[in-house]
Structure formats: structure tokens, C-alpha cells
Amino acid sequence: MKKIALILPLCAATVCLSLSGCSKSKNAATTSGSGGNAADATLASGASDKPVDMRIKWTVGKKYPIRIEMAQSTKTDVPDQAEPVTQNMELTQGFDISALKETDDGGRQLELKFATEKMDVSQGDRSVLSFDSLQSPAQDTNNPVALVLRAMIGARIQYFTDANGKVERMTGLDELTRRIAAANQPQTQAMFRQMFSEETLRRYVSFADAVPGHAVNLGDSWPFKEDVSTPIGVLTLDMKYTFKNWEQHGGRQCVRVEAVGNISTKTISTATGMAVEITKGKITGEFWYDPTLGMIVEADNDQNLALKITTRAQAMRSQFNQKVRIALVDVP
């Protein structure tokens, strides 16, 4: 378990960042610019040069299947070791978000249901653990994370949003906690509670945070700055987003938005048993918004972080890289 004790808290932290990295400041103003090629955009998508109202529109009665793919690598220089320690993790999740009904204030009641979980962790050339919920439970023997991940399958969480799609409250977290506790794996429970904390789970449906919430034109930009609570402390994201062009994406006529920014440590938490500080952090990404569907259909981002890690025994330097893809599988 010590071999994944570092990589899982980092995973939890960066899942938060991945799901919020396309967010906007609540008071962000949109500024106009020349970016993108309108002629190419019109040719590619048939879109006009009129403003686009970028809002998230959950359609009552529809189910939105979503897939998250994350590839994470760390390279850590350890004192008294000639070669750095390398760790890699791949995490894939499938879940469905159903728009159950409209609330009295014009918001939505949404339900998320976990469908699949897949995780592979390696150190150097050696596999540390592997799990796939689509495989037979008979293969879970001696796997320290299998019971916890399998307990998540079928778990449901309900979200209540305001009229603008912002998450106001959630229910079902207690049931998820009971499921994980019933797995009777105390060594892994704490780490997975960090990975799937209330803050992280809230961001699973916070698509409204990724769009301006008003009309924008080709070339417009908007800033973003937010403090994000994670297992390794409070991290600050400082981002800029730009409506670059219209683009055909997955058979849809989409607005493509590019993102660039920085990630830094605001406060450090030692709740994971170590102190992790980001000494340099960059994030780049893009997402595609379908105005007809009123939804982000895909978001990709790359995170590159230089870390200082301090434990009771030693201080280490680590290079952390992560690629994340969040995609809408299909909506009938």
C-alpha cells in the first residue's frame, strides 16, 4: 500500500483540478479579441458569426453517459537512490447523469450513477495493482482496492442545481460512504474517501462552471481564478479561456475553447501523511461545446507540475504529469 500512498492523493487532487480546470470566475468579464478564423469556422460547421449563448441545458428525461480517462505519471528523485522512482496510473470511469426533473426555481434534479471503474498502477516496469469492474469478481483476490472500487458500481448521487446549472446541494454521499465502509478495507478506505470526496464528486456535474453563462463571440476571452480544496491542501487555479473557432467534433457543430493557466499551492495539508507543495504548475486544455445540445461534449487537459514532497523521513522533488479526457459518450 505504501507504493500507492503517494499517487492516490495526487490523483484526488488533480481530479479536482481536471473537473474544475475549465471553470470560470463568478465575476469574470468577457473580453473581445480577434482569435480564430471565421471563414474556416463557417466552412467547417456552417455556423454564422452571430454570438453564441454558452449555457448548460440539462434536458429533463435525458440520460447523459460520460467517460473519464486519466493517465498520470510521476518521476520522483529520492535521496540516496541513484535512479528516480517512476509511478504511473491509469484511471477510467464510466457514469450516467440523468436529468430527473425541473425544480421549482427552474433548476434541475440530476442523478449520477457509477457504471464502470478501471485502474492500473505501476512502479517502474512492475505492476502494483490492476482492477477492472467488467471482469469477474473472482479475479479480485488479494487486490487491496478491488472491493472498494467494485462497491462504487451502481452507487447513485443526486444533485440539485439552480437555474444556471450551479450545484447547490447533493444527497447520497452517506450511502456511498456506507458502501465503501462495507468493503472492510480500512487501509484503502481513507485514500478513496480522499479521491472521491464531496468536493470532487460535486465537480462531476459542474459543467455550468465551464461556460460563460452568456453570449460570446468568436475570439472572446474570459478569465478564471478559483481556490480548490484537495487532499494535499488548497490549490489556486489562474486561467484564461478563449473562444478559438467553430469545429466539427464527433459529428457535432461545436464551439472550441482553449485554456491556459497556472496552478499553485495556497495552503498545505498534511492529512495524507506528507506535505506536498507545487513549486511550478502549468495547465493547458480545450473543450468543445455543442450549442444545439447545450452541453460540453468533450474536455481535454494536460497538467504539468513540479512538486516538493516532505515526509517525516525525507524531502523529495517530483515531476508530475497528467492527461485527462472527459467525454460525453452519446445522447439520444
Residue with cell string 473537473: 19
Rounded Cα–Cα distance for residues 116 and 118 (Å): 7
State residue 183's pLDDT score: 72
Residue with cell string 472491493: 147
Question: In this model, does residue 97 exceed pLDDT 90?
Answer: yes
Distance from the Cα of residue 246 to its chain's centroid: 24
- Grid cell for residue 246: 467553430
Rounded Cα–Cα distance for residues 235 and 317 (Å): 18
For 2-328, which CATH class?
Answer: mainly beta
Return the SS3 of 316. Answer: strand
- Please choose, from the candidates 288, 285, 286, the residue with its C-alpha nearest in 3D space to the C-alpha of residue 250: 288
Rounded Cα–Cα distance for residues 74 and 122 (Å): 11
State residue 144's pLDDT score: 76
Residues recorded for the chain: 332
Contact 270, 52 (CB under 8 A): no
Handedness of CA 36, 42, 45, 51 (dihedral sign): positive
- What's the DSSP call for residue 210? G
Domain limits of the chain? 2-328
The one-letter amino acid at 107: G
* Mean pLDDT score, 29-55: 58
pLDDT mean across residues, the chain: 84
The confidence band for 314, taking pLDDT boundaries of 50, 70 and 90, is confident
State residue 31's pLDDT score: 53
State residue 274's pLDDT score: 87
State residue 297's pLDDT score: 95
pTM, two decimal places:
0.85
